[in-house]
Amino acid sequence: MSVIRIPPTLREDTGGEREVIAEGDTVRDLLDDLRTRFPTIDAKLEYANVYVGGEDIRTRDGFETTVTPGDTVILLPAMAGGS
């Protein structure tokens, strides 16, 4: 069980939730759990970077990166706003 932090641009897909508790031992399992519960988030996840323990999963084991209970998973889609 881990906390997934939902960025503001994806919160409309989670009913406004800022954090979601998800089940799974790997990033893939956690995100699958997230998709199952919030189906509209699926397409946007493709364009989000994922961080576990402050590290980009691309520099670890990608979606197979293991997540230990208590880890915080951060989703980070590109944000352009500056105005």
Binding site for another protein (CB under 8 A): 7-9, 18, 43-44, 47, 49, 51, 54-56, 58-59, 74, 76-83
Cβ atoms of 56 and 37 within 8 Å: the answer is no
Decide whether 19 or 23 has the Cβ nearer to another protein: 19
CB of 7 to another protein, least distance (A): 7
Taken in order 51, 45, 60, 78, is the CA torsion positive or negative? negative
Q: Which residue has the tokens 């402050």?
A: 54
Decide whether 29 or 42 has the Cβ nearer to another protein: 42
CB of 47 to another protein, least distance (A): 4
Cβ atoms of 37 and 45 within 8 Å: the answer is no
Decide whether 23 or 59 has the Cβ nearer to another protein: 59
Residues 55, 11: Cα–Cα separation, whole Å: 22
CB of 51 to another protein, least distance (A): 5
